[in-house]
Structure 1
Amino acid sequence: MSTFSSLGTTISSIFIRPAFLFYAIIISVFSLTVTACSDQNESEAAQFFLKGNLQLEQKEYAGAIHYYDEALAKKSDFADVHSNRGIAYLRLGELDKALEDFNKAIDIDRTFDQAYFNRAGALIDKHEFSLAATDLEQIRKSYQDSTNYYLKWGDLKSQQGYYEQALSEYDRSLTLRPENVQALVNRGVIYFTKKNFKEAQKDFEQALKLNPQQELAYNNLALIFARNKQPEKALQFIDRALDFDAVNPIYLNNKGYVLLLQNQFEEAKKLIDQSLTKAPENSYAHRNLGIYFLHKGQKTEALSAFQKSYSIDPSTDQIHAWLGEALFLNNQKEKACKMWRQGQSLGDEESSVKFTQKCK
């Protein structure tokens, strides 16, 4: 375990990266009835649709889109194809294209509940919370007994910052289906956010019992073990997450942080740099880079990294303490004290200690 004695800040006392949620979607299986009397285009469209679904299930999203394109070339008003192609675009991170497809599916069929459900998820990602809520209300009667319906409401409330409401929705989802792994992981995230780490750990561990392939649970447990000053165990879990997705920028940054805890600074920086190459707006990666620079005595570079982290997300955990320290080391005491005082007002204990020690 490493402590920067010159800074008075213990690395292991801060988080790596907030645990994060993942969202449920509903894949259309088939709604186009193909009979002996169907015309050739409809029959071919149906075949391309089924091929696209197979690719979607295998997470071959580009391949799925190719077959869905072929289906739509045969039958442009095939609502299920638009909905499923929207899912493929969503999985590729092409949010605007996904929304276009969900909108088109609903334009074709105003009663297409699955498309409303999936569009709600995309709207949550876009932070269009009011529109997402409208879509979910639209299908409440149809989905009132669906575990994933309340999972989606939980996701919406979570993204809005209404954590108690989110917990209530996830609880309802799990009442309907206790083995809903997504609801367990996402409820664990809320517990984590509320610093109820015991309950968070229980949810993540239960999720892994139900599905040992659940990579987000491994990632999120790594955060808890790191916080509990168990970097060796944290490393085991973050490595397991990386086994599933070796280039995930969140996982790479998290492993970099765990390596900082183990004094493997150069290897940590390599991973943090890789993370930033893939996700340059990750405020936690910039913060971790600042920690690395402080260890190396590069106070100017550290200040720049912390300022970048703060500019991206001023709620980044303990950024006020770290940025204040870098300002202080760069002979900017007044700004440092202001930063620590701000952190103190937000409940950051490290900022409070720094302010008391150096500003009074």
Structure 2
Amino acid sequence: MKNEKPEYLAAEYNYDTIIFDNQEEAEYPQTLIDSPYYGFYLVSKKVGHIIAEDHNWSETDGNAGAIAEIDLMKAFHIEALSSSDGQTESKRIPYTLRLLFQLEEFVVLREADQFSEQEEEMIERINQTVRDIESGRLPTDPFRKLDVQLARKWCRVFRLYAFLQMRSERVRSKESLSKDLRICRRRGLSSGYLNRIEYRARFYRLMDQKLTGKIILLAEEWENRCISGEIAANPFIYEMIALSFFDTEEDYKTGYEWLMLLIGRHPNNTDFMKWKARYLRRAGNLRGAHEICDQLLQDNPTDFETHCFQSNLFYMEEKYKEAQKSALIATSCDETSPLGHIALAFSYLNDQQYEEAILSFNRAIESDPQSVDAMRGKSKALVMIGEAYDAMNCLVQAVRISPVDADLFRELADVYFMTGYVNECRKYCRKCLSLDPYSASAFVLLGMLEIRENHVIDAVKWLKRSLAIEPDNPIALNELAYVEHMNGNDDECLRLLEQALNIAPDFADVVCSMGVVYYFKGDYETSNALLDRALELDPLHVGAMVTKGNSLLSQSLPEDALAWYERALEIEDDFPDAIRGKVDALRALGLEDEAAEWTKKEGELFDDNDR
């Protein structure tokens, strides 16, 4: 009869497959979920995500493997520690959890610019952790005993994982890598696991050094060793990782040339064909990418990933109905994946079906409560239906999940700007810039803040800073043109707007701005043509409607002007310029009582803003 005691169930569970294969051999025993042993399971899941994170065909969420520190502490039945306690050194923390903390620290440090400067210190700390785990006898307490056994089994392979990515000669001279490998095998780790760790570490190191040729050679070496039977694993996994690595503007042509050689050797490999479609998309050959998707779906009509990908192709072509159709098929193929719901939601969002978009974003969040992309998209849809405060809450939730995403803080600043919270907007712009000092959009937003507060010199400073980073930023050019217009420099204003229009010919704000300038110049015919064009591009452009009203009023056509002001107020019922224009039009028509009512409303609006 099987022993059902918690310590036996926990000890018999295979945590190694989670760490080294990133998959579960069996479901974790339900009887252990509320016990401290559950902590070992969560540690192995998080470690598995860290050392086996691959980016293959699907656009995976970088937060998919996120397990919060507080949840780990709760699982081990220990209280969260303050930073002064020292996470990895505290006696209260299990060794396995200390290993995880150190592994996370290494991964963060590896991405930092100062990695080479801190390598020596990191080497010593890793070695000290291994010494701490290896010293002393096994405890008699079953939980502590299993903790030490697992830590001893894993600590040297984690050290290998880290050291094989370092350039310091100390890791070769002071510590014998072969000895670590030998001890790991003796403690029950299979050669297959160790080979995977070794290859993965070598691969990361080559990618860090951007050694393109060696990356390709190592990937093909792995394929050959797997096909020969020397290693029991997916022979194409490193080719997939390498293809992902090459999927950049700088390297995709190299990746595509190599991919065609791989397809020549493996013409029936579906994953390679999907990568071909992805590279064609990057090259702008959407038709070629569609042809591959059609071929793949003919062979497998329920291929969820390909339906999602084809939805994205239609989205890029601005064929939102077709994008919705492909995304709906994807969600029917896999209702539990957030990716299909996100694809559907964004196609609804750009098709101005905001309520439907919110419903689809909600389904994505239900499937994956950590989906930052879904929260980000939902906030945009909420803004479009006038629910700015809910949009703020959505972005605040996303920031808590991904606190180092600079764009999230910039988007949050955008919403605060729209709702008139100037100080909060400035605060989040600066937070964005602390994470990404080259965020042109954040500098534009700071410039717009200064314009709103009539601080022209500061506005110009921020807008020029933005253009120094991104010279072709049409929003920055448009805002700088506005400053020049307010300073009476309409020739320079028009020059900047022409520059912006050459970059973004379908940017309604720029077209409208040109219409405004020609209106002030008294060239009503040119102004009207430009404003009509702006409304073709954006039928809900309130600024263009108000300027058309102003132009008609200047030409003594108050009745026609009133119609445009009322159209603007149907979209934004508290738009100050539209209210002022309506008051002037009503007075011109002799409707003084109605004009007085709107004047009162205008006063109430400004009182609210003052408060």
Secondary structure at the counterpart of residue 36 of structure 1: helix
Question: How many angstroms apart in 2 are the aligned matches of 1:358 and 1:34?
Answer: 76
Q: CA deviation at 1:260?
A: 1.8
Q: CA deviation at 1:359?
A: 3.0
Match of residue 356, structure 1, among 572, 579, 583: 583
Question: How many angstroms apart in 2 are the aligned matches of 1:114 and 1:339?
Answer: 43
Q: CA deviation at 1:236?
A: 1.8
Larger Rg: 2
- Cα pair distance change 1:318/1:132, threshold 3 Å: closer
Question: How many angstroms apart in 2 are the aligned matches of 1:93 and 1:118?
Answer: 24
Question: How many angstroms apart in 2 are the aligned matches of 1:108 and 1:320?
Answer: 40
Q: CA deviation at 1:188?
A: 1.7
Question: How many angstroms apart in 1 are the aligned matches of 2:345 and 2:283?
Answer: 12
Secondary structure at the counterpart of residue 454 of structure 2: coil
Alignment of 1:209-248 (within 5 A): 209-248=434-473
Cα deviation, 1:285-305, whole Å, max 9, x if unaligned, reads 111101221333322212222
- In structure 2, the residue matched to 1:53 is 245
**Residue 285 in structure 1 maps to residue 484 in structure 2:** no
CA contact (8 A) 1:259 1:268 kept: yes
Alignment of 1:92-131 (within 5 A): 106-107=305-306, 116=340, 119=343, 123=347, 126-127=350-351, 130=356
Identity %: 13
- In structure 2, the residue matched to 1:305 is 530
CA contact (8 A) 1:309 1:319 kept: yes
- TM-score between the two structures when normalised by the length of structure 2: 0.45
- Cα pair distance change 1:244/1:348, threshold 3 Å: same
- Cα pair distance change 1:266/1:170, threshold 3 Å: same
- In structure 1, the residue matched to 2:178 is none
Question: How many angstroms apart in 2 are the aligned matches of 1:154 and 1:96?
Answer: 34
Secondary structure at the counterpart of residue 359 of structure 1: helix
Secondary structure at the counterpart of residue 540 of structure 2: coil
Cα deviation, 1:306-343, whole Å, max 9, x if unaligned, reads 23223332433433331111122344332112223444
Question: How many angstroms apart in 1 are the aligned matches of 2:423 and 2:276?
Answer: 38
- Cα pair distance change 1:158/1:350, threshold 3 Å: closer
- In structure 2, the residue matched to 1:20 is none
Match of residue 36, structure 1, among 209, 221, 225: 225
- Cα pair distance change 1:292/1:68, threshold 3 Å: farther
- Cα pair distance change 1:305/1:155, threshold 3 Å: closer
Secondary structure at the counterpart of residue 106 of structure 1: helix
CA contact (8 A) 1:223 1:234 kept: yes
- Cα pair distance change 1:72/1:178, threshold 3 Å: same
CA contact (8 A) 2:252 2:279 kept: no
Question: How many angstroms apart in 2 are the aligned matches of 1:309 and 1:318?
Answer: 9
Question: How many angstroms apart in 2 are the aligned matches of 1:242 and 1:263?
Answer: 22
Question: How many angstroms apart in 1 are the aligned matches of 2:377 and 2:410?
Answer: 13
Structure 1 unmatched runs, 5+: 1-26
- Cα pair distance change 1:150/1:55, threshold 3 Å: same
Q: CA deviation at 1:352?
A: 2.2
- In structure 2, the residue matched to 1:19 is none
Letter of the 1:282 partner, please give it.
F
CA contact (8 A) 2:559 2:585 kept: no
Q: CA deviation at 1:269?
A: 0.9
Letter of the 1:38 partner, please give it.
I
Question: How many angstroms apart in 1 are the aligned matches of 2:474 and 2:274?
Answer: 30
Q: CA deviation at 1:208?
A: 0.8
CA contact (8 A) 1:90 1:122 kept: no
CA RMSD of aligned residues (A): 4.4
Question: How many angstroms apart in 2 are the aligned matches of 1:135 and 1:319?
Answer: 31
**Residue 137 in structure 1 maps to residue 137 in structure 2:** no
CA contact (8 A) 1:184 1:204 kept: yes
CA contact (8 A) 1:120 1:132 kept: no
CA contact (8 A) 1:62 1:88 kept: no
- In structure 2, the residue matched to 1:66 is 256
Deviates more, 1:340-349 or 1:236-245: 340-349
Q: CA deviation at 1:96?
A: 11
**Residue 151 in structure 1 maps to residue 376 in structure 2:** yes
- In structure 1, the residue matched to 2:483 is 258
- Cα pair distance change 1:244/1:225, threshold 3 Å: same
- TM-score between the two structures when normalised by the length of structure 1: 0.71
Secondary structure at the counterpart of residue 448 of structure 2: helix
**Residue 320 in structure 1 maps to residue 545 in structure 2:** yes
- Cα pair distance change 1:248/1:121, threshold 3 Å: farther
Structure 2 unmatched runs, 5+: 1-52, 58-218, 229-233, 298-302, 309-332, 588-611
CA contact (8 A) 1:272 1:289 kept: yes
CA contact (8 A) 1:116 1:135 kept: no
**Residue 296 in structure 1 maps to residue 521 in structure 2:** yes
- In structure 2, the residue matched to 1:16 is none
- Cα pair distance change 1:336/1:202, threshold 3 Å: same
- Cα pair distance change 1:331/1:63, threshold 3 Å: farther
Secondary structure at the counterpart of residue 347 of structure 1: coil
Q: CA deviation at 1:227?
A: 1.8
